[in-house]
Chain A
């Protein structure tokens, strides 16, 4: 079981804003950078946010990341139907000496 906890699902109407939480501990989020991945249906995951709050080239600025203590968040503003996907947070865990993924959150656009 994952050491990073996310809500199983979130839903919101188009053009609205959703936030996905990612709860960890001092050995992972509290001491290492958080990355976020977007997985569209039937596709491989894609890097969405790195180093807590940085956007890779080509990623829409409707996506934003933040971190405070042992928790992180991903926000999607101006929600669009194309944002329907699974989202995973991830970070290195010093105790496990390995990379851990969050439990994943399914975003549904109503």
Chain B
């Protein structure tokens, strides 16, 4: 059974870079049928897609975050990572990693399943 687990600092200072890693277990991150993605949820608010990456390194980013986001993959460790630069209090959220299906058009336009349990990242000095 595929499982995803987020890890990283729970507290980040304003203007610094948020860094999280998602470790995939029970399956290979090099699967040809799936991308790997990040979604976040500010406290008490809705879900926001951040971006998705294929094992080859191909990425799709949310246009509203694109200038600050980098998602990378390490197939040797079966992990993928998120970096969000120049963070502010508005970036405080629970960050989830999840697996989106790759659609017929080769985009990560399928459903997200499974999801990690999420990790709260607070931006504060």
Chain A contacts to B: CB under 8 angstroms: 2, 32-33, 35, 37, 44-47, 50-51, 56, 88, 90, 92, 96-104
Contacts and interface: CB of A to CB of B under 8 A. Distances in A.
26 contacts: A33-B110, A35-B111, A35-B112, A44-B115, A44-B116, A44-B117, A44-B118, A45-B47, A45-B112, A45-B115, A46-B113, A47-B113, A50-B113, A88-B46, A90-B47, A90-B112, A97-B60, A98-B49, A98-B60, A98-B63, A99-B108, A100-B49, A101-B39, A101-B46, A101-B48, A104-B47
A51 B113 CA distance: 13
Contacts of A35: 110-112
Contacts of A46: 113, 115
Nearest to A32: B109
A45 B94 CA distance: 12
Most A C-beta atoms less than 10 A away, residue of B49, B61, B63, B96: B49
Q: What 10 A-B pairs come out closest when comparing CB atoms? A: A92-B109, A47-B113, A35-B111, A99-B49, A50-B111, A101-B47, A104-B46, A44-B115, A44-B118, A98-B62
Given A47-B113, A56-B113, A92 B107 contact: yes
A56 to B, nearest CB: 7
Given A50-B110, A50-B111, A101-B39, 13 more contacts: A33-B110, A44-B116, A44-B118, A45-B115, A47-B113, A47-B114, A56-B113, A88-B46, A88-B47, A97-B63, A98-B49, A98-B62, A101-B48
Nearest to A54: B111
Contacts of A45: 39, 47, 96, 112, 115
B8 interface: no
